[in-house]
Amino acid sequence: MHTSRVAASSSIIQHKKYSTEPHFSKYGGRTTVTALSGDGVGPELLSYVQEIFRYAGVPVDFEELEINGSTTDEETLCSALLSVQRNGIALKGNIESKFDEPGFKSMNVELRTQLELFASIVWCKSIPGVYTRHQGLDIILIRENTEGEYSNLEYQIVPGCIENLKIITEAKSTKIAKYAFEFAKTHGRKKVTAIHKANIMKLGDGLFLESCRKVASQYPDIEFNDMIVDNASMQMVSKPQQFDVLVMPNLYGNILSNITAGLVGGYGVVSGMNIGDDYAVFEMGTRSSGRSLKGKNIANPTGMLLASCDMLDYIGCNKHAELIRDSVMKVMSVDKVQTPDLGGQATTLEVIQAIIEDIKPKTTSWSTTAAQNVSIDAFLFNFKVTIVNSTLESCMRRPIEMAKRWQTFKE
C-alpha cells in the first residue's frame, strides 16, 4: 500500500519535469516551507506535524504564518502570498469563511487563484484496518482549481435577484485535462473519466468535455469516458470500484472529492495537494477546518501528516516521507490506534505519541553516513532555529535529544 504512495511521490517529482522547474528556499541542506495556520484544528495539527518532523530529523524549517477567519485583511493575504512565492511550497490548514460579513472574500480561493494552483489532486485509497462500507478503492480525483463556479463574480440585477457567473475556458480545461492524462500515464492508470453536466450546461460544460476529448485523443493507451455528475455521484456510492482517475471542473470536484473521501474513511485520512506551475500547497483532502473539533483532542491528525509526507516527496525528501508515512499507516492500520472518526477511542495526542514511538527506533538506527552528509553548520543552524521556534516544554526535552543526535553524528 505504501508503495503506491511512493509511486505518488514519483509522479510529483515527474511533475517537475512536466512543467517549469519549481524552486524551493534551501539553506544549508534545509528547505523552508510556509505553514499557514488556518482555523479550527489547523494550528494544532500543523504543530503536530512539526513535532513529528523534529523526531524524524526532517531537514525542513517552517515559516509560520497566522492566517485565519479573523485575519482577513489584504496585508495578511499579501504576506501569505509572498511567503509561498518565496518558499515555493506550503502546508496549509483550512481558513474558515465568515461569509455573513460584508466584504467577505474566501481566503482559500484567493490563495489558490493568485498562486495559480490550477490542479487539486485528492487520492482516495482504501486503508486496511479502517472500516468502510466499500473496499478496494483506489481513485484519483483531479479537479480544476481556479475557475468554474469559484470565479467569484456575482452581482445583483434587481433587489431580490442575484446572478453568479460560472466561467469555463478552453485554456484551463485543456490544461487540467492534460495534467490528468499525464498523471494517469505516469502512474500506469488505465482510465480517465471526465465529469460534467453538459446535458444542461451545454456550452460551459460542453466546452470542458470537448477539451477533455481533444486531449484524450493524444493518449490512445488510456481509456477515456465521461459521466454526468449526478449519475457519477450515484455510481460512487453504489459501485465506486469502477472509477480510476476522474477529471472535473471546480464544483463537481469539490462534491466528488468529499463523497470519495467519505467512502475511504472521512476527513481524517485523506490528503490533498494543490499544484501550480510554480508553487504547491498541501492540505487536508476535504479542506475542512474542523471547527467543532478544536481543542477537544479528538481530531484525526493522519490527513495532515499524509499531506506533509506528500510535501516531503515533492521536495525530494523521499526517505523521510517514507519513514513517516510508514509509521502513520502502521499506527492506523496495524496497531489500530484510531481517533473517534474512525470508530476508535484514542485521542489525537495518543495517535501522535504512537507515531513518534514508531519513528524513534528508525531514526536512531540511521547510519552515520547519512549523518555525515549533514554539515556541522547546518546541524548547529538547525539547533539554533529549532530552539527559537519551539515551546518551553520542547526546549526542556531538546538538549537531551540533541545530545543523542550529536553523539550519533560524531560516531
Residues that bind other proteins (CB under 8 A): 97, 99-100, 104, 106, 109, 133-134, 149-150, 152, 154-156, 159-171, 197-207, 209-210, 228-231, 233-238, 251-252, 254-255, 257-259, 261-263, 266-267, 286-288
Q: Are 273 and 280 in contact (CB under 8 A)?
A: yes
Distance spanning both ends of the chain, measured CA to CA: 35
Q: Are 249 and 148 in contact (CB under 8 A)?
A: yes
Task: Report the DSSP beta bridge partners of residue 140.
Answer: 123, 245
* Among 108, 129, 103, residue whose Cα is nearest residue 37: 108
CB 35, min distance to other proteins, A: 22
User: Which residue's CB is nearer to other proteins, number 234 or number 380?
Assistant: 234
Residue 138 to residue 124: CA distance in whole angstroms: 6
CB 272, min distance to other proteins, A: 12
DSSP code of residue 148 = B
User: Which residue's CB is nearer to other proteins, number 226 or number 322?
Assistant: 226
CB 312, min distance to other proteins, A: 26
Note the Cα 332 to chain centre separation in Å.
19
Phi, psi dihedrals of residue 381, rounded to the nearest 5°: -60, -45
CB 12, min distance to other proteins, A: 25
Residue 46 to residue 305: CA distance in whole angstroms: 9
User: Which residue's CB is nearer to other proteins, number 137 or number 371?
Assistant: 137
User: Which residue's CB is nearer to other proteins, number 88 or number 249?
Assistant: 249
User: Which residue's CB is nearer to other proteins, number 238 or number 365?
Assistant: 238
CB 98, min distance to other proteins, A: 9
CB 189, min distance to other proteins, A: 23
User: Which residue's CB is nearer to other proteins, number 78 or number 162?
Assistant: 162
What is the three-class DSSP state of 159?
A: coil
